[in-house]
Amino acid sequence: MEAVDAARWQFAIVTVYHFIFVPLTIGLSPLVAIMQTAWLVTGKAHWLRLTKFFGKLLLVNFAIGVATGIVQEFQFGMNWSEYSRFVGDIFGAPLAIEGLAAFFIESTFLGLWIFGWDRLPRKIHLACIWLVAIATNVSAFFILAANSWMQHPVGAIFNPETGRAELDDFGAVLLNNTLWAAFTHTVATALLVGGTFVTGVAGWLMVREVRAGRIDLARAVYRPAALLGLVTIAVSGAGVAVSGDWQAKLMFEQQPMKMAAAEGLCETQTGAGFSILTVGDLSNSCEGVIHLIEVPGLTSYLATGDFAGQVAGVPELQQQMEERYGEVDEQGEPVNYSPNLALTYWSFRLMIGFAAGSALLAVAALWLLRKKGSVTDNRWFAKLCLIAIPMPFLAASFGWIFTETGRQPWVVVPNPTGVDMVRMLTSDGVSSSVGIAEVITSLTVFTLLYGVLAVVWVKLMTRYASHGAPEVEPPPEVDDENAESDRPLSFAY
Amino acid sequence: MLIAVLWTGYLVLEGFDFGVGMLLRPLSKNDTERRLVINTIGPVWDGNEVWLLVAGGATFAAFPEWYATMFSGFYLPLLLILVALIIRAVAFEYRGKIDDDTWRNRWDWGITFGSWVPAVLWGVAFANLVRGVEIDADHQMTSSFVDLLSPYALLGGATTALLFLTHGAIFLSLKTDGEFRHRARALATRLAIVSAAVGATFVVWTQLAYSDKAWTWAAVGLAALGVVGAWRAIQAGREGWAFLASALAVLAAVVLIFGSLYPNVMPAINDPANSLTIVNAAATPKTLTIMTWVAGFLTPLVLAYQGWTYWVFRKRLTAERIPAAIGLPLRAEQPSASDR
């Protein structure tokens, strides 16, 4: 193993770990904001109860999301310093703006929301959670601006004197079509995660309460929550599909190798089918790849919008790239321009497959709760709720694994219609001053630490979710006089 | 300049957070008092920590070369700091979630560890920046971890730790009332004397050995004024003034560090030609212009709403105002019809 492999493993582990918690935060915070708004507008106590219940789960999740995010901000410099030097002029700006425009708002106003139940007037307190919900999305936008630039660099020139990519047009970086497709897809996915989480938890609790004979509780509290989650799943599910299709079409133009790898496409075809099951040794070469089940023409349609469109295969693309970017790297080794075929092929399919878990839950819930005021005691539905909750998380992870491993061997993928010199191989981006021992140390430390924290997180989340939504007292109305009172704090760590 | 402002913001604000975290166990007698300590920074610690993320991001944007060299060079210290910050962040949020003494105790150690390690290591890291490290012609830092532990750097670590302890103790006496406030005040008085002695050695050493500018004597003077002023004010029971004074001391120390560095950002002790300066480590004018506009517009806004947060939670805390623990028991009881 070389330092670059260890550094790749480390980045993958900490990023996948971070992205377990991120979509739940992005998806759940607007739902909590909606619940609190519903409470203020309708005055119905069950919305307050749900706000506090899901708010608590949001906080347990938010804490670990923040903690794992800290590492990300410094990892580029620690392990990928050559990459940081090359792209810093462009890549650093969205990162810094993310901090200034989003992290400050999130952290400050979440603090106000947690501790401000009896300190702030109700409308201002509500505005705090909405600001948090908006800021999580602003943060996603800027970090995706940075990532999308790696996938499809725009607005950059190459300075031969310094050997660096330099910013030419910041507007172009923010208007990158890859960014807008990725942003839509990511936010829709996050809402799918949040919606599935709410429906899953509320649906499971509903069945439990009905079976315990507390039908009124199930009807009054958990049914509205399940329905809110259901609407979220429906809307975001459509968003995921549409934005996914949009992304695939961009990918076909901008990163044809990723597209070909995703489909295990070994020869250039017209009317290429979408393979559902493939056997053979996908990891090294195309030899022995057999597509067992295919939907005819679907890949061509996804890529080009035409069932008979032409899609290039891996060997042809390898040849094209060798001609354009050279056959050997800086060390004189031949470059394989295709990613790991098995990984990209399967992560693409698992992403789509796991997202279907949410759809299954939505259909079942829709059917069981179709009548006004109905609740269910269906055991199978309770089981489905528990199984469905992790599925969109897995789909989100596999989606990112596909996106990121599909761009290998590049860390900055050359833009076919951009500046050719704005490109970088992953092996050239790793820190040259950091030894393998140091990387292995940090890899081990982070993996162990994150492992322990993940166990704690699962334990706390299940503990609080299975406890159910306790009855709550409405917070006192706050005005200037009683803001100064000496009563106990409404919340203390 | 902006980077210095962000680092100042981070160290002034996190300074008392670290101090509060370090004092969590020694200063409190029981769980209610521990919760009192934590809740003085409860609503604000997360916002304070973001200053670090933004300082890191801004360094990346404005000085990519510096960002790359510094963070790959200070690899192991940074790893330790990150681990500490992760544990600390989770500990604040999770300690009250389960009503169990062992559970709470473990997280309290997490807060203690997570506050001490960065408080010392940031000082070591900044002292090394001032002192200079070995940098080769390709701007790779070649100093090893052991090289970073010179007497001067260790003194830097001791200085930040003591300064933050004092800053934290003063903050606690400012934010609490009753018997606890007096205890915090008594401790702050003692800490101020020690940190004045250690801090004075460090700033004078810095000025004499590493600053070639006369004006940085002003920063040395301000730092001295800050610590001594904090000591006098806390003795007189003027906690607000004491807090401003200790904040001034932290600020002056950061100004001294950046002032003596200027125009370098990372001097090379092996060959001055290899030093990173604000010229050869900077991004292009275009990026710097954009970042200046964004920061110039957003930073005052951040200061305004963070200031407002401190105003909202301005009231002093007492142990009596800490509500009963609401964490769930460690294991779920069998749900029965009567308990809900």
- Which element (helix H / strand E) includes B239? helix B239-261
Query: In Å, how far is A301's CA from the nearest CA of chain B?
Result: 40
In eight-state DSSP terms, residue A371 is S
Is the pLDDT score of B335 beyond 60?
A: no
- Which element (helix H / strand E) includes A467? helix A436-467
> For residue A64, what is the nearest residue in chain B, using CA coordinates?
B90
Measured in degrees and rounded to the nearest 5, phi and psi for residue A112 equal: -65, -35
Looking at residue A375, its pLDDT comes to: 83
> For residue B145, what is the nearest residue in chain A, using CA coordinates?
A438
Interface mutation target, options A70, A83, A91, chain B, most CBs of B under 10 Å: A70
Is the CB of residue B53 less than 8 Å away from at least one CB of chain A? yes
Contact A490 B323 (CB under 8 A): yes
The pLDDT tens digits for A414-449 are 888 888 888 898 888 888 877 888 889 999 999 999
Query: In Å, how far is A471's CA from the nearest CA of chain B?
Result: 8
Task: Give the dihedral sign, CA A121/A126/A127/A131.
Answer: positive
Q: Using CA atoms, how far apart are residues B33 and B43, in angstroms rounded to an integer?
A: 17
Q: Where are any strands of DSSP class E within A330-448?
A: 410-412, 424-425
Mean pLDDT of chain A: 87
Q: What percent of chain A has pLDDT over 70?
A: 95
Which residue among A88, A453, A484 sits closest to B283, beta carbon to beta carbon? A88
Contact B60 A66 (CB under 8 A): no
Is the CB of residue B303 less than 8 Å away from at least one CB of chain A? no
Looking at residue B170, its pLDDT comes to: 92
Contact B86 A67 (CB under 8 A): yes
Is the pLDDT score of A134 beyond 80?
A: yes
Which residue among A76, A464, A488 sits closest to B322, beta carbon to beta carbon? A488
CB atoms within 10 A of CB A284: 12
> For residue B280, what is the nearest residue in chain A, using CA coordinates?
A162
Taking CA atoms, B31 is separated from A473, B173, B183, B311, in Å, by 25, 18, 16, 27
More confident residue, B228 or A267: B228
Q: Using CA atoms, how far apart are residues B306 and B300, in angstroms rounded to an integer?
A: 10
Is the CB of residue B42 less than 8 Å away from at least one CB of chain A? yes
Q: What percent of chain B has pLDDT over 70?
A: 97
- Token pair for residue A101? 């425009």
Contact A470 B82 (CB under 8 A): no
Q: Residue B59: which of A164, A77, A71 has the closest Cα?
A: A77
Cis peptide before A296 (omega within 30 of 0): no
pLDDT band at A138 (very low <50, low <70, confident <90, very high): very high
CB A412 within 8 A of CB A424: yes
pLDDT band at A268 (very low <50, low <70, confident <90, very high): confident
Question: Which residues of chain A make contact with B45, given a CB cutoff of 8 A?
Answer: 111
Interface mutation target, options A58, A71, A89, chain B, most CBs of B under 10 Å: A89
Looking at residue B338, its pLDDT comes to: 40
Q: What would the mean pLDDT of A298-325 be, rounded to a whole number?
A: 81
Q: Using CA atoms, how far apart are residues A313 and A300, in angstroms rounded to an integer?
A: 12
Is the pLDDT score of A68 beyond 60?
A: yes
* Half-sphere exposure in the Cβ direction for A316 (13 Å, CA): 12
- Which element (helix H / strand E) includes B85? helix B75-94
Which residue among B89, B306, B335 sits closest to A67, beta carbon to beta carbon? B89
Contact A74 B65 (CB under 8 A): no
Contact B287 A114 (CB under 8 A): no
pLDDT band at A485 (very low <50, low <70, confident <90, very high): low
Is the CB of residue B286 less than 8 Å away from at least one CB of chain A? yes
Beta-ladder partners of A277: A293
Which residue among B43, B60, B323 sits closest to A111, beta carbon to beta carbon? B43
CA B274 to chain centre: 30
Looking at residue A286, its pLDDT comes to: 67
pLDDT band at A285 (very low <50, low <70, confident <90, very high): low
Query: In Å, how far is B290's CA from the nearest CA of chain A?
Result: 8
Query: In Å, how far is A390's CA from the nearest CA of chain B?
Result: 22
Contact B64 A84 (CB under 8 A): yes
Interface mutation target, options B36, B75, B79, chain A, most CBs of A under 10 Å: B75
pLDDT band at A143 (very low <50, low <70, confident <90, very high): very high
Helix axes A341-368, A379-388, angle to 10 degrees: 150
Which residue among B97, B309, B322 sits closest to A460, beta carbon to beta carbon? B97
- Which element (helix H / strand E) includes B105? helix B101-131
Beta-ladder partners of A424: A412
Contact B317 A489 (CB under 8 A): yes
pTM of the entire predicted model: 0.91
Looking at residue A358, its pLDDT comes to: 85
Contact A95 B60 (CB under 8 A): yes
Q: What would the mean pLDDT of A100-125 be, rounded to a whole number?
A: 91
Interface mutation target, options B7, B63, B66, B72, chain A, most CBs of A under 10 Å: B72
Which residue among A68, A100, A488 sits closest to B294, beta carbon to beta carbon? A100
Query: In Å, how far is B194's CA from the nearest CA of chain A?
Result: 32
Lowest mean pLDDT among A144-153, B8-17, B66-75: B8-17
Residues 6+ apart with CB under 8 A from A375: A206, A210, A215, A218, A219, A222, A223, A369
Contact B75 A168 (CB under 8 A): no
**A35-A39-A43 Cα angle (round to 5):** 160
Residues 6+ apart with CB under 8 A from B329: B98, B99, B100
Looking at residue A391, its pLDDT comes to: 93
The pLDDT tens digits for B318-330 are 888 888 888 888 7
Is the pLDDT score of B208 beyond 60?
A: yes
Looking at residue B329, its pLDDT comes to: 84
Residue B336 CB burial class (10 angstroms; 0-12, 13-18, ≥19):
exposed
Please give the single-letter amino acid code of residue A381: F
Three-state DSSP state, A265:
coil
Which residue among A92, A449, A466 sits closest to B283, beta carbon to beta carbon? A92
Query: In Å, how far is B19's CA from the nearest CA of chain A?
Result: 18
Question: Which residues of chain B make contact with A77, given a CB cutoff of 8 A?
Answer: 56, 60, 67-68, 70-72
DSSP code string of B116-184: HHHHHHHHHHHHHHHH-B-B-TTS-B---TGGG--HHHHHHHHHHHHHHHHHHHHHHHHHB-THHHHHH
Query: In Å, how far is A372's CA from the nearest CA of chain B?
Result: 26
The pLDDT tens digits for A360-417 are 888 888 888 888 888 888 889 889 999 999 999 999 999 999 999 988 889 999 888 8
Question: Which residues of chain A make contact with B148, given a CB cutoff of 8 A?
Answer: none
Please give the single-letter amino acid code of residue A102: A
Contact B72 A78 (CB under 8 A): yes
